Every structure is written in C-alpha cells, then in structure tokens.
Amino acid sequence: MRKVLFVPSGIGLGHAVRTHNIINHVRKKAEFRLATYGDSTPFFNKLGYEQIKLRGFNYHGEYSFELMQTLVKEADIFFKLAGDYLKLSRYAQEFPYDTIVSDSDPIGIITANFLRKRNVLIENLQIVLDEAKYLPKRFQETLSYQIGLVQELEKYITQYLDLILVTSFNNNKYADKKKHNIGLVMNSKTDDNSYKNALKNEFIAVPINGSALSYNIVHELISVFKNFPKQNFYFINFPTKIIKKIKNIYLLPFMHPPELRAYMKASKAVVSFAGHSTLTEIAHFKKPSLILPLPNHIEQISNATFFRRNKLAEVVFPRQKYENESVTRALTKLFANLNAYEENIKSMNFNFNGAENAEKLILTD
C-alpha cells in the first residue's frame, strides 16, 4: 500500500480544498499524512485532520500581488525552506512515505527530490501558458515577466518531477509523458440542511478565498454592493464568528466545504475572485458570475481570460485597484443577462473527474 505525504500550498484556500478532494479518493487505497502552513492549516484543523506544521511562505501586496514586495518580505525564504525540509525528512522516519504530492508548493518538490521519493505535482499554472496569446494586450506587456517566469519554472521543475497533474478548464493534451490533463477537481457533495436554509432567500454568493489580498479588496466591494439595495450579497468565509448583516450585505463565517457548496448551488449568481477552485464550482453549478481577478496575479487573470473569451461570465480586469464604477457597470450588465450566461456555461463540456483521475495516477506504480 502506498504511503503518501500531501503538501498543499497555504496561500488562500483553493489548494487546500483541491487537496482535500483528492485525499477523499486516495485514502480508500493508501495511507496518507498532511504537511501544511498558512491558510491550509486552519482549513484542515476545522476538518479534524492531524498535520505536520510548516513555516511556508506568502504573497504580499495591499490590493494586488507585488513581486518585489513579496521578495523583500520573504527574504528569509531559503531558511524557511531549509527548516521545512529538515522537518519533513525527519518525519520520514516516523511515517516512511514513498510519494510526496505537492499542490503548487516548492517544499514538497524539494524534499521528494533530495530524499529520492516519488515526486508528484498538482498544478493549475498551465493555463497561463495556454491563455497567454488571448490575454488583453496590456497584460501581455505589463505581466510578460510573470509569463516568462512561469515558462522557465515549468522547464526547470519538470526535470525533478515524476508526475505532473494539470487541473484545467480545457481538454488540451501534452507531449510530455509526465504531464497529464486530469480535468477539474470537484466534490459535488452538498449539505442538505444548508441548502434548504440557503433557499429561503434569493442572494448573490461572494465566496472569499482566505488570502490577505482578497480581504483587502472585500472592503472595497462592500461599498459597491450597497448600490444594489434590492439584491442580497452573502460574503462566505468572512472572518467573523457569527452571521452579521449590514443592510443588504450578509457576512457569513467559515463554512465546511459541503456547506459552502450548498450556498453556491442555491445562489442566484456568484461574485468571485478568479481562483481555480472557486471557478471550478461556478462551472459545476452552472452559475452566472462576475469574476474579479486579483491585480497583477497572472494565474487569476488567465483564468478570467478563459471565462471571458468563452462568454461564461462578466469580467472586470483591474489595474492597481478595482474602480467602483467599473464593478458597478459589470454587475448591472450581469443582472441584465443572467439567463444568457447560464446558457453559455451549460453548453461547455467540462471534465469534472479530476479527483478520480488524480487518484489513479498517484496510486499507479
């Protein structure tokens, strides 16, 4: 029986959610353990999982991802990585894992390489390369360094990996035999009681991904949503212990994944950042949406580009911050075209078998 160590990125909740969905399949046929940091740690704590705690790292910027600010504030990253490597290498004595599955995180890749363990990466950055030619021209110019960085990272880390699992909205196939398009990782299970409760009111779901960048922008969005007094907006996973109401805006605390999916399913529409996991749920539940990619975040801008060019959502591409007038116009347009967006997203042939496909590949000898 395989012994698998999962190491999800701790930046935002998306990687933790995806890893959790894959664990639910792998655990039936393998032993596993978790190593976490950042936002992933409280997520798995609330689900009752034991974890090895790592130091990890984070992105920085007030309203957008800022590369230089991140490099300065994470100047000690090599010491953090070294400490995390030592912790994981010692843990191999207690739990002799034969495979490390990293979700968009470097420490798992580094550890597997040095310890000569089977090295598996789950990633969704491939969309940056797939969508590069479709990006709005200003992003092709201003974010060219991020696109180039992704290209170089892909080339560099591939040599150290045994298996690359690409979660993707498209059906592209890859020449590299290590790389597999597994489709979208989605657990469709919803909490029945939460779903019944959510149906009592018509509302727009606004799930928050947990990162510091998104919380900064949330406060800007609240002022926009007040301009639509006839619409109810539900902020989900807001940092509050009890439900709070401010006019037409509801602040809901952390929800377990089946509860959150119940609210997504019951919603009239969704306003979301462009994280891969949330967009996967929007695609699964066929929801009209307004997508707000985080400024300077090439992966989120690429995700949003895919949705915009396929006419699946309203999209506001930010500069340094979101302009309230642009978001207001986009929301107005969304509400006027809900049926059209719903029909467009229903017509797409998405593959939601990513967790099952990941399980087969991870457990294959």
59: domain CATH number is 3.40.50.2000
Query: Is the residue at 318 inside a domain?
Result: yes
Does residue 266 have a pLDDT over 50? yes
The rounded distance, in Å, linking the Cα atoms of 114 and 289 is: 44
Query: Is the residue at 15 inside a domain?
Result: yes
Look up residue 63 and give its two tokens: 């309203």
DSSP 3-state of 179: strand
pLDDT above 90 as % of the chain: 76
pLDDT digits (tens, 9 = 90+) for 173-212: 999 999 999 999 999 999 999 999 999 999 999 998 655 5
Asked if 74 and 58 count as a contact pair (C-beta separation under 8 A), the reply is yes
How would you label 326-342 residue by residue, b for 16+ Cβ within 10 Å and e otherwise? Answer: ebbebbeebbeeeeebb
**Total count of domains within the chain:** 2
Query: Do 281 and 358 reside in the same domain of the chain?
Result: no
Q: Residue 325 is part of which domain span?
A: 192-346
Does residue 81 have a pLDDT over 60? yes
Res 69: pLDDT: 55
Query: Is the residue at 110 inside a domain?
Result: yes
Burial of 68 from C-beta contacts in 10 A (0-12 / 13-18 / 19+): exposed
The rounded distance, in Å, linking the Cα atoms of 128 and 295 is: 15
Long-range pairs of 223-232 with CB within 8 A, sequence gap ≥ 24? 223/324, 224/324, 224/327, 224/328, 224/331, 225/249, 227/328, 228/331, 228/335, 231/203, 231/204, 231/335, 232/201, 232/202, 232/203, 232/204
Query: Do 117 and 207 reside in the same domain of the chain?
Result: no
Question: From the CB of residue 269, how many other CB atoms can be counted at a distance below 10 Å?
Answer: 24
Query: Do 68 and 198 reside in the same domain of the chain?
Result: no
Query: Do 172 and 222 reside in the same domain of the chain?
Result: no
Query: Do 117 and 236 reside in the same domain of the chain?
Result: no
More confident residue, 70 or 282: 282
Does residue 160 have a pLDDT over 90? yes
pLDDT digits (tens, 9 = 90+) for 55-79: 887 653 444 445 555 444 555 678 8
Does residue 13 have a pLDDT over 90? no
Query: Do 174 and 199 reside in the same domain of the chain?
Result: no
Query: Do 179 and 216 reside in the same domain of the chain?
Result: no
The whole-model pTM stands at 0.89
Res 72: pLDDT: 47
Query: Do 42 and 168 reside in the same domain of the chain?
Result: yes
